Chain A
Amino acid sequence: MARLQRQRNWLPLPQGEGDFCVMTAGVLRGIADEVRNLARFSRGRPGFLFGLGVVALTIFLAVFGPRLAPYGPEDALPGVANRPPSGDHWMGTDISGMDVFSRVIAAPRIDLMIALVSTAAAFVGGVLLGVISGFFAGERGIWGRLSGAILRGADIFQAFPVFIFALALVGFRGPSIQNVILALAFLNIPFFLRLTRGAVLHVRERPFVDAARCVGGSGLRIAFVHVMPNALTPALTNLSPTIGFSILLASALSFVGAGVPIPTPEWGSMIAIGAPNMMTGQWWTALFPGLALGLTILGYALVGDGFRYYLDPVKRR
């Protein structure tokens, strides 16, 4: 992060062709270095590798899933309802005759999209609010009060269990994909807020902040240009687990019928469709989507875990 700090304060902008080549070569070299570091880091950690694999797979399926599906993910095939797994249908068919496998691999697209958009929005909102809340914490004047109010607000929202509030938000606005994204984004903001605020409280004690103040920067400028880049680590390490958790929430909402509408392939709604079947012995309809869901969330959580160690400067063996 110290590397980032130096770059933020003094950007060597390219002037002319030669500089541009140097810049590109530098960036590429840097990326190669980091990839090599990451590879070395992953060597002894099977969990982290598994997680990375899961993340890669879900991204791949999100892009190519529907196209690779052997059957149309929303096609109700006539005459093959409730078939167990077979050569034709690797994961069987559900009650409407839709091929489970096709739907399982087509589902990441919607879930991942929801999770990525809402997490990105929550990250931006949470970090911004967290920086303000942390940097001006304890000060007098309007900014100080604002920082206290932000924290107090985040605290109050804690009284609502996450799923219940998501349910309410979607319930009142109506079940649709946009509303799910909105609800999830809104709910994850306090989380990133708290993480960033904690880091900012730490970073603002460091000497370079005082130095920046002496040079005469305004509060906001110091907060965002100097302090924020160095306080991003906790929020960044939690990006991956939050994406996983958002997928879980979106699925839970879809399961109860308050999320993604039915024909669209989504793991949660697939489990809901398969729920009655579980009680009559057709286990495949709900099992596979749930397995996919669980493995996905596990993978994202493991990646988050791994990155926590990776980004921590104390990462000695």
Chain B
Amino acid sequence: MRFWRYAGRRLAFLPVQLLIVSVIVFFLVRLLPGDPSYLLAGPFATVERVDEVRRRLGLDQPLYVQYARYLRSVMRGELGTSWITSQPVLQDIGQRLPATMELILAAMLLSVLVGIPLGVWTAVRKTGIVDRAVFGYEMLAGALPDFWFALIMIFLFFFRLGWAPGPIGQLDLTVSIPPRVTGMYAVDALLAGDEPAFRSAFAHLVLPVMTLTAIYMPLVMKNTRSTMEEMLGSEFVAYARAAGLSRAVQIRYALRNSMPSVVTIVGILFWFLLGGAVLVETVFAWGGLGQYAVQSVVSSDYAPLQAFVLVTAVFTSIVFLLVDLGYFLLDPRIKP
């Protein structure tokens, strides 16, 4: 009951947040040098098309009317048309979103499964060499550019060792796409029992996911470790020890108290991975949203770019909301 009250309160706040986000995205188009309707319609647009865009934007109307129009079209799913693909942006996004999600979810899963235990382990056992190696790795991972690291991985594992397939997207060219359930090729192949497709999809996933994980997992590990260290040194753990509770129980107490912080870090991980995915997708020609966004920037295709920013901001707001709810569930001290 307590939880639902809190959830209700946070959910009530969400539309306001999303509204403000939409205002910011709305103003992005105002940054364009020149006539937005020409630029949005694209260089191949006919006069009618440009007029259509201008009418839709309502550029002769006052600003708030323009915003209202924008909001209404977003609600209806009309995010404009990409002049590169000649398709509605919403459709483009729908086609590409699962690919990006597959990448991000896989990287998140791996980072959490590896990062949290490693963080706990290095906090509990403070051994000299491992500590220093871990610290060095964290510093490096924070400094090395992810797009460059992706290239190194390709060079090593594709060119030199021949273990991984080339960076040509999600599947080998000879393999057919499995029937679409989620849009994520590996998952769909699994569901359809299509072994060659699954193998191909999985093989193509390995390098990009490893790149993202190698660079962003240390974030989780570092934060888990510092929170655990803080908890292990806290007064209630010290008192638990004084009361005769075993080391295992002390660690359990510390771990449970670290959970809220760890959940927050996972949310921030998502935030980082969104940015990282854009770059990694470009390197691996992944065909996801990130590559779509980059193409839009490079070819001055503004409608998709605007929609992309909106979509990512909405996703991030939802993820942050989930993180807050998770935090609330894990920490009984927060008031609903």
Contact = CB atoms under 8 A, between A and B. Distances in A.
B145 A160 contact: no
A107 interface: no
Contacts of A251: 145
A17 B315 CA distance: 66
B80 to A, nearest CB: 14
Contacts, number: 142
Contacts of A161: 271-272, 274-275, 312, 316
B261 to A, nearest CB: 17
Nearest to B271: A161
B279 interface: yes
A226 to B, nearest CB: 33
A168 B152 contact: no
Nearest to B318: A159
Contact of B145 (A165, A170, A248, A283): A248
Given A161-B316, A257-B294, A290-B152, A168 B274 contact: no
A172 B305 contact: yes
Interface in B26-43: 28-29, 31-33
Given A160-B313, A294-B140, A301-B139, A283 B155 contact: yes
B162 to A, nearest CB: 12
A287 interface: yes
B293 A156 contact: no
A289 B320 CA distance: 36
A172 B317 contact: no
B161 to A, nearest CB: 12
Given A159-B21, A159-B313, A172-B28, A275 B145 contact: no
Contacts of B24: 156-157, 160
Contacts of A279: 154-155, 158-159, 166-167
A257 B155 CA distance: 22
B298 interface: yes
A87 interface: no
Contacts of A86: none
B61 to A, nearest CB: 21
A158 B198 CA distance: 37
A290 B145 CA distance: 7
Interface string B278-301: 110011000000000110111000
Contact of A169 (B31, B159, B278): B31
Interface in A240-288: 244, 248, 251-252, 255-258, 268, 271, 274-275, 278-281, 283, 286-287
B155 A301 contact: no
A173 B31 contact: yes
A158 B167 CA distance: 32
Contacts of B151: 271, 274-275, 278, 286, 290
A232 to B, nearest CB: 24
B155 A298 contact: no
A275 B151 CA distance: 7
A297 interface: yes
Contacts of A252: 145, 147, 279
B297 A256 contact: yes
Contacts of A39: none
B2 to A, nearest CB: 25
A114 B142 CA distance: 20
Nearest to A274: B151
Contacts of A294: 140, 143-145, 148
Interface size band for A: 35 or more
A120 B270 CA distance: 29
Contacts of A170: 297
A235 to B, nearest CB: 20
Most central of B28, B154, B276, B313 by chain A CB within 10 Å? B313
A23 interface: no
A171 B145 contact: no
A302 interface: yes
Nearest to A257: B298
B88 to A, nearest CB: 20
Most central of B145, B155, B271, B293 by chain A CB within 10 Å? B145
A88 B152 CA distance: 25
B21 A256 contact: no
B68 interface: no
Interface string B302-333: 10011011001100110010000000000000
B249 interface: no
Nearest to B34: A174
Interface string B145-186: 101110110110011000000110000000000000000000
A310 interface: no
B91 interface: no
A55 to B, nearest CB: 14
A161 B144 CA distance: 18
Interface of A: 156-165, 167-175, 244, 248, 251-252, 255-258, 268, 271, 274-275, 278-281, 283, 286-287, 289-290, 293-295, 297-298, 301-302
Given A164-B275, A172-B302, A290-B145, 13 more contacts: A156-B24, A160-B312, A167-B293, A170-B297, A244-B143, A252-B145, A255-B282, A256-B282, A257-B297, A271-B151, A279-B155, A279-B166, A301-B142
20 contacts: A156-B17, A160-B316, A163-B275, A167-B294, A170-B297, A172-B29, A172-B31, A175-B297, A252-B147, A255-B147, A255-B279, A255-B282, A271-B148, A271-B151, A279-B154, A286-B148, A290-B145, A293-B148, A294-B143, A297-B145
Interface of B: 17, 20-21, 24, 28-29, 31-33, 139-140, 142-145, 147-149, 151-152, 154-155, 158-159, 166-167, 271-272, 274-276, 278-279, 282-283, 293-294, 296-298, 302, 305-306, 308-309, 312-313, 316-317, 320
